[in-house]
Amino acid sequence: MARPWLVAVVCLWLAAGCQQGLPDRIAVMGARPDFLLLALGVLGLRMRRTDALLLGFLCGLIQGGLSGSQMTIYVFSRTVAGLVVGWLGSLEVESHAVVTCAAVVVVTIVAQLSVMFMAPPASITAYLLATIGSAMYNGVLAVPFYALQNKLPEARGL
């Protein structure tokens, strides 16, 4: 049980590092990836509901710490996203790249909509377009992340 969590913590640490330096550099037409939500979606899909909820809480703590703004918004939104991905993982659907891609898109949209309702942006239309772009970007990035996760024997137990 400790080894899969060790893999999850290392993945969150790497995702946090990527979140600090990469999104603005690899943006495509204004869409930026969210590496912590990507990690939450891919890893949480194979976890139990309570573990995915805890993973979402940790993602929120990390994201809030990185942003330097109100941590409550990120903790709540990522915890809700963890609950959603834990629920999606319990549906007993065969795990493959397309399912993982769809789950990451759903998790990104749920988390960002939660943020929108807790801290309304100045322009809701622009925020929603950015959310959709980020969700699509995360969905595309989920495929290689899923393939990498299948190569790690410790990560298969998640």
* Average pLDDT rounded to a whole number, residues 73-93: 92
Q: How far apart are CA 52 and CA 7, in angstroms?
A: 14
* Average pLDDT rounded to a whole number, residues 74-84: 95
Residue 154 — very low, low, confident or very high, per pLDDT cuts 50/70/90?
A: low
pLDDT in tens, 6-44: 888 999 999 999 999 899 899 888 899 999 999 999 999
pTM of the model: 0.90
- Cα of 81 vs its chain's centroid, Å: 8
Q: How far apart are CA 140 and CA 136, in angstroms?
A: 6
pLDDT in tens, 99-151: 999 999 999 999 999 999 999 999 999 999 999 999 999 999 999 998 888 77
Across all residues in the chain, what is the average pLDDT? 90
Q: How far apart are CA 44 and CA 24, in angstroms?
A: 25
